Structure 1
């Protein structure tokens, strides 16, 4: 039984089978009008380019939802149908190199449909909601001028709120004030004395900085700049969204009458907003969402995954929670884990690894919960059930886009309830526990090492043959930790093949052309993996049989 692994700056990876959720019970599916269906191929290609009547606003589609709900896929398919371009409203996708942890669209997807505000900054740079507002508004105008449809998608609530309603009229700091603030906080930041810096700004007149996340030096400096420029803290400035919401709540409508409330909202929207925003929030049942998030977190530990990106951030000299990129969920936990392992001389126990994974999954679920709470209070969004057929959802959204009355609402067959009304689901949520698909503590097995191309640890991307049996290169020390020869990567530690599900996992890896060697205790003596198209390398050796798979570590 192996109880530990060496972790001196790593990329750890694993593989799971695609999650095959049972098909949910569907109400009668949404059926678009035949007239709309026939005319859409022509209409959607010229609607945005058609000359607008005086006072008529141009349409902008907004797709949001909690992490893991499938909003990126929906936005991509919708943009294809509406002759659109995608504007990312994600605070992490703006950074180059942070692909896995931000679930960034693939290169092929970006070639299919133009994507904006993706890969525009180095991870050491800051990016704020104010910068997003300016960038997204400018890009939206450019897309509309080309006769195409802006499809804004992302889960960063504040970004979308400012984009739709506008930003506070906060003064921009002069270069002199910016320099003054930097010099006042430079020594405190260099010493890492966050608490003293917060108290300094509180004494200057902004008690609101106490609510900032620890080590958020960018926002701390910005708040002090506003204070020095205007003589008032940021909270003194009117936020356009608050003004809009106050007008809506003060209108004489029956709050329990949803149709009346929505109608009033549309009237307010036409008077207050400069674009005709068509907004949808994609979600699903909370239990299904949590399971999807947990599996997604495991997926992010695949080859070239989250840990390698976190290692790169550390190599850049960045620390966890030190700027926008390193505060992002996933990267923060991964960087903490790698730093902990380095402090221990490059070692990590099984317990520490699973603790990192658990924290990552929990933080992701909590973020999704906060997203649901945030958008529940945003009246402009129509909620759609993500478990419904994608084609039906796309047809409905296209019909809403084509509808000139602004009164087409989500049908019951596609509607997602904002609140949990089922007591059984509430009980199940309270009892929810993560069940990992492939990262488990049962049946820990040694895995073969992969030969490196250089002594420095640079991996050769080309397939290497032959592979080396793990039990020929691994030596176990007295304290049951794993060590290996210098020219080999460390073996990946934790994967279970104790049931049919995991055997299917291996089969999928083989079909995909996996290139790393596995070893298993020979519980099925004489058993041999299927050869042929899989081109399995390896043969029976001692009391082990070997097959290829994706799971490996690079250190």
Structure 2
């Protein structure tokens, strides 16, 4: 959103050197030792990377090799903007005083000289429970049909890729689908309804957790005006149109479109904690019969496929 850090690109020689140094560690799945190697080289933030994120670890090591400094030493284009205006929306959003709109950015004056363009940012979201239900339904939709995510995961496996081995196979949905299909292949193309529903549940949970992290991140970016997307679309569009043509820079989200905190009441907090998925298509054991039949027809020939 604020631009990428202006870090140096690794030369082919440096990239090859880094790959050589990390190759044995990755082959032996010694993630901790690889992290310590990069930390000792000069990037303490490497220890905060997601486990087995070898791509980012290699990139961190390449930057140190190329520049002598970690990536954190390079500023993004609008670091100055962020430092001057802060990003305390998350604490405000969850604070006790809910009379103050944590997503109201009208009190912050932005000099147009600091930015390449004059722009207004809006974030449209639904109440958390509605969002979670939509995500669960979307995961079901992605499994339905012969050209859904299971078909795409099959193509990735047939290409020789394993789950969690690169950016594509780490993606939410693809990793879970590939792992599930690998188990099916080891069982001669067979899957029980329980195994299918376990895969679906894991897929949905990972998707909801990712959405939750996204919301947390964007709450820390005070430049956004939050709008309740569950309200009539025409109302949101009219407000955005008027804000764009207003030109004054003073924007106040009306109560009719204002997002409420998901933790602003005990009732909502309790609903969030007790949330349970209620599927739309896959409800009973027999509802996944077509999927299991497809797996039996397409995965049985790969019984000797390697397990990740």
Scaled by the length of structure 2, the TM-score of the pair is: 0.82
Given the alignment of the two structures, is residue 277 of structure 1 paired with residue 111 of structure 2, yes or no? Answer: no
Q: Which runs of 5+ in 1 are unaligned?
A: 1-160, 449-488, 494-551
Given the alignment of the two structures, is residue 416 of structure 1 paired with residue 259 of structure 2, yes or no? Answer: yes
Label 1:418 to 1:168 Cα distance change in 2 as closer, same or farther (>3 A).
farther
CA distances 1:365-396 after superposition (whole Å, capped 9, x unpaired)? 11111111111111111111111112222222
Label 1:207 to 1:325 Cα distance change in 2 as closer, same or farther (>3 A).
same
Q: In structure 2, what is the Cα distance between the partners aligned to 1:437 and 1:363?
A: 18
Given the alignment of the two structures, is residue 293 of structure 1 paired with residue 127 of structure 2, yes or no? Answer: no
CA distances 1:219-251 after superposition (whole Å, capped 9, x unpaired)? 11110011112222222333455532321249x
CA distances 1:55-85 after superposition (whole Å, capped 9, x unpaired)? xxxxxxxxxxxxxxxxxxxxxxxxxxxxxxx
Given the alignment of the two structures, is residue 427 of structure 1 paired with residue 264 of structure 2, yes or no? Answer: no
In structure 1, the residue matched to 2:44 is 207
TM-superposed CA distance for 1:409, in Å, is: 2.8
Indicate which of 348, 367, 390 corresponds to 2:191. Answer: 348
Indicate which of 177, 183, 196 corresponds to 2:33. Answer: 196
- The DSSP-based 3-state class of the residue aligned with 1:182 is helix
- The DSSP-based 3-state class of the residue aligned with 1:262 is coil
Q: In structure 1, what is the Cα distance between the partners aligned to 2:199 and 2:13?
A: 44
| Greater helix share, structure number | 2
Label 1:173 to 1:491 Cα distance change in 2 as closer, same or farther (>3 A).
closer
Label 1:447 to 1:310 Cα distance change in 2 as closer, same or farther (>3 A).
closer
Residue correspondence of structure 1 range 250-261 to structure 2 within 5 A:
none
Q: In structure 1, what is the Cα distance between the partners aligned to 2:7 and 2:289?
A: 57
TM-superposed CA distance for 1:300, in Å, is: 0.8
In structure 2, the residue matched to 1:268 is 110
- The DSSP-based 3-state class of the residue aligned with 2:191 is strand
Residue correspondence of structure 1 range 19-38 to structure 2 within 5 A:
none
Larger-gyration structure (1/2): 1
C-alpha contact (below 8 Å) 1:376/1:418 kept by paired residues: no
In structure 2, the residue matched to 1:234 is 71
Given the alignment of the two structures, is residue 491 of structure 1 paired with residue 293 of structure 2, yes or no? Answer: yes
In structure 2, the residue matched to 1:464 is none
In structure 1, the residue matched to 2:82 is 245
Q: In structure 2, what is the Cα distance between the partners aligned to 1:399 and 1:249?
A: 27
CA distances 1:17-38 after superposition (whole Å, capped 9, x unpaired)? xxxxxxxxxxxxxxxxxxxxxx
Label 1:202 to 1:439 Cα distance change in 2 as closer, same or farther (>3 A).
same
TM-superposed CA distance for 1:328, in Å, is: 1.1
Label 1:350 to 1:177 Cα distance change in 2 as closer, same or farther (>3 A).
same
C-alpha contact (below 8 Å) 1:446/1:492 kept by paired residues: no
C-alpha contact (below 8 Å) 2:190/2:292 kept by paired residues: no
In structure 2, the residue matched to 1:401 is 244
Q: In structure 1, what is the Cα distance between the partners aligned to 2:298 and 2:189?
A: 13
Indicate which of 5, 8, 11 corresponds to 1:174. Answer: 11
Label 1:234 to 1:198 Cα distance change in 2 as closer, same or farther (>3 A).
same
In structure 2, the residue matched to 1:391 is 234
C-alpha contact (below 8 Å) 2:105/2:224 kept by paired residues: no
Label 1:389 to 1:228 Cα distance change in 2 as closer, same or farther (>3 A).
same
Q: In structure 2, what is the Cα distance between the partners aligned to 1:405 and 1:445?
A: 55
C-alpha contact (below 8 Å) 2:191/2:292 kept by paired residues: no
RMSD of Structure 2 on Structure 1 (CA): 2.9
C-alpha contact (below 8 Å) 1:248/1:264 kept by paired residues: no
C-alpha contact (below 8 Å) 1:216/1:322 kept by paired residues: no
C-alpha contact (below 8 Å) 1:333/1:356 kept by paired residues: yes
TM-superposed CA distance for 1:293, in Å, is: 1.0
In structure 2, the residue matched to 1:438 is 281
Given the alignment of the two structures, is residue 322 of structure 1 paired with residue 165 of structure 2, yes or no? Answer: yes
Q: In structure 1, what is the Cα distance between the partners aligned to 2:116 and 2:287?
A: 60
TM-superposed CA distance for 1:278, in Å, is: 1.6
C-alpha contact (below 8 Å) 2:35/2:46 kept by paired residues: yes
